[in-house]
């Protein structure tokens, strides 16, 4: 077995990261919707950890892009704008596309994990479980990225997908968005297994284009009164239209 993986999982030190894991899960579950402020005191008591440990977890998640840290104001669940969606998909096209083209030299077992993700999505779709379809879809794309056999590339995609979950959370009824793509996933896998990475690349890019477009169409309208994320959008400081 690959002991290095297990060791990496064990090594990663104590409470701080574990607290970050819990918070990450809760955020991607939608318990803390984008824009929510995460109170130190409330979370400290709820999780039963010290303030220092909690702040360590905050820093980690802020560095991952799931939280924004505003000085003397606290941390907030990040709120992404339409522009972020475009950026995320542009980056995904580059990275996932390259990973697919490099599938010929993929590490052993990597392609099987793609297949497993496809089958998981199909099974979930058969059960009508949209949430599971979504997570399986995420796993599919992570597996696609892993085909490159490049840890840094995989880690980057992991972060991009985590951010993308924030987008889904901001869109009501975003679960249905994953459903139509199960067939695309299957086709991409089939082409990869058949040794036709160029074709798989074409289908993947078409998939990403379509997914981005639908996501942008379903994007919530302008958040007039609220703060549109720190530093991303135009300031729109104090102007509150009646």
Partner DNA sequence: AAGGTAAAGATTGTTCAACAATCCTGCAAT
Partner DNA sequence: ATTGCAGGATTGTTGAACAATCTTTACCTT
Which residues are near its own copies by CB under 8 A?
A: 3-4, 7-8, 11-14, 16, 52, 55-56, 59-60, 63, 69-71, 87-88, 90-91, 94-95, 98, 148, 150-153, 156, 160, 230-232, 234-235
- Shorter beta-carbon distance to DNA: residue 73 or 213: 73
Continuous H helices in the chain: 3-11, 15-29, 40-47, 51-64, 82-101, 110-127, 130-146, 151-170, 182-193, 197-217
Q: Is 132 in the site for DNA (CB under 7 A)?
A: no
CB of residue 54 to its own copies, shortest distance in Å: 12
Residue 74 contacts which entry, its own copies, DNA, none (Cβ below 5-8 A, type-dependent): DNA
Q: Is 13 in the site for DNA (CB under 7 A)?
A: yes
Residue 156 contacts which entry, its own copies, DNA, none (Cβ below 5-8 A, type-dependent): its own copies
d(CA 174, CA 216): 11
| Number of residues in the chain | 242
Q: Give the three-state DSSP class for 100.
A: helix
Long-range contacts for 119-128 (Cβ within 8 Å, ≥24 apart)? 121/178, 121/182, 121/185, 122/182, 122/186, 125/179, 125/182
d(CA 152, CA 159): 11
CB of residue 212 to its own copies, shortest distance in Å: 14
Phi, psi of 178 (to 5 degrees): -80, -30
The interface region with DNA, picked from 14-22, 123-131, 154-162, 204-212 by CB under 7 A, is 14-22
Chain residues 33-62 in contact with DNA, contact rule CB under 7 A: 37-41, 48-53, 55
Residue from the set 15, 91, 168, 219 that interacts with DNA by CB under 7 A: 15
Residue 234 contacts which entry, its own copies, DNA, none (Cβ below 5-8 A, type-dependent): its own copies
Residue from the set 7, 73, 151, 213 that interacts with DNA by CB under 7 A: 73
Within 13 A of 66's CA, how many CA atoms are on the CB side? 28
CA end-to-end span of the chain, whole Å? 63
Closest listed residue to residue 141, CA positions, set 160, 128, 126: 160
CB of residue 226 to DNA, shortest distance in Å: 11
CB of residue 133 to its own copies, shortest distance in Å: 26
Residue 108 contacts which entry, DNA, its own copies, none (Cβ below 5-8 A, type-dependent): none
- Shorter beta-carbon distance to its own copies: residue 91 or 175: 91
CB of residue 139 to DNA, shortest distance in Å: 29
Strands 67-70 and 37-38, how do they pair? unpaired
Question: Residues in the site for DNA, rule: CB under 7 A?
Answer: 13-16, 37-41, 48-53, 55, 69, 71-74
């Amino acid at each position: 077995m690959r002991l290095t993986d297990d060791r990496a999982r064990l090594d990663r030190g104590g409470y701080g990261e574990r607290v970050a894991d819990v918070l990450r899960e809760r955020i991607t579950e939608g318990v803390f919707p984008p824009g929510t402020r995460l109170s130190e005191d409330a979370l400290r008591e709820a999780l039963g950890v010290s303030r220092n440990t909690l702040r360590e977890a905050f820093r980690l998640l802020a560095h991952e892009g799931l939280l924004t840290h505003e000085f003397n104001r606290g941390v907030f669940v990040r709120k992404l704008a339409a522009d972020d969606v475009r950026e995320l998909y542009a980056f995904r096209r580059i990275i996932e596309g390259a990973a697919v083209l490099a599938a010929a030299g993929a590490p052993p077992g990597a392609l099987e994990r793609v297949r497993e993700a496809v089958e998981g999505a199909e099974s979930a779709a058969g059960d009508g479980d949209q949430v599971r379809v979504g997570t399986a879809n995420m796993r599919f794309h992570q597996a696609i990225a892993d085909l490159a056999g490049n840890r840094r590339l995989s880690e980057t995609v992991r972060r991009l997908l985590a951010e993308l979950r924030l987008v889904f959370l901001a869109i009501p009824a975003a679960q249905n968005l994953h459903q139509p793509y199960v067939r695309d996933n299957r086709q991409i896998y089939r082409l990869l297994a058949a040794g036709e990475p160029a074709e798989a690349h074409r289908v993947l890019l078409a998939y990403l284009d379509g997914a981005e477009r639908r996501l942008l169409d379903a994007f919530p309208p302008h958040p007039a009164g609220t703060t549109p994320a720190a530093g991303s959008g135009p300031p729109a400081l104090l102007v509150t239209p009646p």
